[in-house]
Amino acid sequence: MKRNEIREHIFRLVFCGDFHPSEEIPEQVRIYFEELDKATEEEHSYIADKVDRIKAKVPEIDHRIDEVAQGWKTQRMGKAELAILRLAVYEMLYDEEIPLKVAINEAVELAKKYGGDDSPSFVNGILAKLA
């Protein structure tokens, strides 16, 4: 599986996390993987681990987003955009394997696919302020 496909699965699970209590997340991940046929066990493990690490950092990540999002606090943001931002900010701040430009570019691509018309520029603007 390509890295951008793995990132998309991580985004989907982070997005799902906003709709379920934290204690249900492991079960939601298990159900998600039942439907994900083409991923290897190693990819499953990588995805689940990264989702867990992002969820553990959500308060810090949201604080960083709130610091730079003029007029938009995380509580008011669309769920898709917020999940994309959380993934990208995590990669920018805590994941040394992902180059900064790659994290931003992939976030913009996810915003094009899953967000509204203004989502790519919104996501890019927030991430540019954090870079």
User: What burial class does residue 92 get, using C-beta atoms within 10 Å of its C-beta: 0-12 exposed, 13-18 middle, 19+ buried?
Assistant: buried
3-state helix, strand, coil in the chain (%, to 5): 80, 0, 20
pLDDT of residue 57: 96
Residue 49 pLDDT > 90: yes
Could you report the per-residue pLDDT of 7-42, keeping only the tens digit for each?
Answer: 999 999 999 888 888 788 788 888 888 887 778 889
pLDDT of residue 40: 87
Q: Are 13 and 47 in contact (CB under 8 A)?
A: yes
Could you report the per-residue pLDDT of 83-124, keeping only the tens digit for each?
Answer: 999 999 999 999 999 999 999 999 999 999 999 999 999 999
Ordered by where they begin, the domains of the chain are 3-130 (1.10.940.10)
| Overall size of the chain counted in residues | 131
User: What burial class does residue 14 get, using C-beta atoms within 10 Å of its C-beta: 0-12 exposed, 13-18 middle, 19+ buried?
Assistant: buried
pLDDT of residue 88: 97
Could you report the per-residue pLDDT of 51-93, keeping only the tens digit for each?
Answer: 999 999 999 999 999 999 988 888 889 999 999 999 999 999 9
